[in-house]
Structure 1
């Protein structure tokens, strides 16, 4: 069964953000601010990509949705960072309604729309464990009768880490948070055009049967200054303890995120 992941890299969608903007021009200016793009590229390189590149099951497609007005130097950097990742493809689209454009991009990535597929959403500052694709395929196989009865079936791994990356390395702590939108996927029956992005990640279980897992730890949830959820007023800071050598080794073994590489990327 084809597995497709979708990552929106600073795509200026109409809707789809918790923070509101008065116009697409205002949203685009916020997303393309130089300081913000530098941080997103650093997180994409040091946190997001390593676990995807190290998947034990490399048979998947990873679509990176960008705006057609993304600064050329940023697009060039994305191409450079994914040059050694055959699963990656960058798709540029003009601003459009969030769910509509994500559905379009996901459906265009399907090799055969009449065949079932597995889809997952992924933010550019998050990570999944190196066996995420393998575990997703295994879960779908285990739930084959359920998939046969329903157009859509959700899968969610609710155990992972809240993580912050900076020039000093990694800070973080284990968390249990179901339906957080990372390490979350959906089985889509053949012929169905709805996608994993048609549903709010916290409400997916209101629209379809879902299967949840509390083990093993399957995600790193990025915690940084430009999180969409942290742009609102009155958001309280969430201090995270600095990981020691043992913690860094645990993260590297499970998610392929190397704290030394994190330090080098953010120091530069």
Structure 2
């Protein structure tokens, strides 16, 4: 039996998750932080930026997949302003793989579980992956993920495992100490990046794992043959690029010819645009 591949994305989702604002946050402070987040989450300028990356990076990358047999769930808040909900639903109508699920305030892992129930998905019969609304994956991602799971002999009850794609293109404006910016495309090797990370597990969903700690608890398959793309902006949780951060995270420049080859082989939709 071929397992269904299911991706999860949080698009202006209101609830506790693995974002920096919730790191080490005591439960008694959660309501106050949620209220603060509510005010920022639905800001029009922020939403326009999120739609910009979702519509030009995330969805085109998924739409370019050589293996189109997958489901992608966008979790959003039931407080999302109506005009933006309409915009999201129009995207769902345009892309056959995309389903939008509105949720009240709750923790991210619980929201994923509720969404799976909505579509009749069982953890022991699916392969799960995560992707942010400002990142994307190679056009061969789904195909390679399916091959990786076949190689690992997917048995979530007795041998749960994770699959990661460590070669990441890093895209965004680099902010210099004097405040000047220059948009760059660079590369970084990230053993357990959250972009496109997948798991096969019969008891826990993809957001019940801290992506950078999965390798401590699960057997992992790392596939460097295809790339993921991560955007770095001041407006997202990843944050803006600075010379210090580039050095600290070992982000490297890419020779122009190699850059062109990586894009052509993995992100052809970027060439088309």
Q: TM-score range by the shorter chain?
A: 0.7 to 0.9
Are the equivalent residues in 2 in contact too, given 1:164–1:240 (CA < 8 A)?
A: no
C-alpha deviation, 1:116, in angstroms: 2.0
Once the two structures are superposed, the pairs formed by residues 35-50 of structure 1 within 5 Å of their partners are 35-50=45-60
C-alpha deviation, 1:110, in angstroms: 4.4
If asked which structure has higher relative contact order (CA below 8 Å, sep 6+), I would say 1
The runs of 5 or more residues in structure 1 that have no matched partner are: 262-268
Are the equivalent residues in 2 in contact too, given 1:103–1:193 (CA < 8 A)?
A: no
C-alpha deviation, 1:39, in angstroms: 0.5
Give the CA RMSD over aligned residues.
Answer: 3.0
Once the two structures are superposed, the pairs formed by residues 41-80 of structure 1 within 5 Å of their partners are 41-80=51-90
Are the equivalent residues in 2 in contact too, given 1:2–1:110 (CA < 8 A)?
A: no
How many residue pairs are counted as aligned between the two chains?
A: 252
Aligned to 2:189: 176
Aligned to 1:86: 96
Aligned to 2:169: 161
C-alpha deviation, 1:131, in angstroms: 1.0
> 1:151, 1:134 → 2: CA distance?
21
Q: Normalising by structure 2, what TM-score?
A: 0.81
Alpha-carbon deviations, 1:201-240, whole Å to 9, x = none? 0011222211112x21320011112121328xx9956499
Q: Normalising by structure 1, what TM-score?
A: 0.82
Alignment of 1:117 with 2:126, yes or no, is yes
Are the equivalent residues in 2 in contact too, given 1:153–1:210 (CA < 8 A)?
A: yes
> 1:212, 1:52 → 2: CA distance?
20
C-alpha deviation, 1:187, in angstroms: 1.2
Aligned to 2:40: 30
> 2:244, 2:188 → 1: CA distance?
17
Are the equivalent residues in 2 in contact too, given 1:3–1:59 (CA < 8 A)?
A: yes
Once the two structures are superposed, the pairs formed by residues 116-265 of structure 1 within 5 Å of their partners are 116-144=125-153, 147=155, 150=158, 152-164=160-172, 171-188=184-201, 192-213=202-223, 215-230=224-239, 236=244, 238=246, 247=259, 250-258=262-270, 261=273
C-alpha deviation, 1:198, in angstroms: 0.6
Q: Secondary structure at the match of 1:62?
A: strand
Are the equivalent residues in 2 in contact too, given 1:183–1:218 (CA < 8 A)?
A: no
Are the equivalent residues in 1 in contact too, given 2:140–2:226 (CA < 8 A)?
A: no
Aligned to 1:5: 7
Are the equivalent residues in 2 in contact too, given 1:63–1:90 (CA < 8 A)?
A: yes
Q: Secondary structure at the match of 1:4?
A: strand
Once the two structures are superposed, the pairs formed by residues 8-23 of structure 1 within 5 Å of their partners are 8-20=10-22, 22-23=32-33
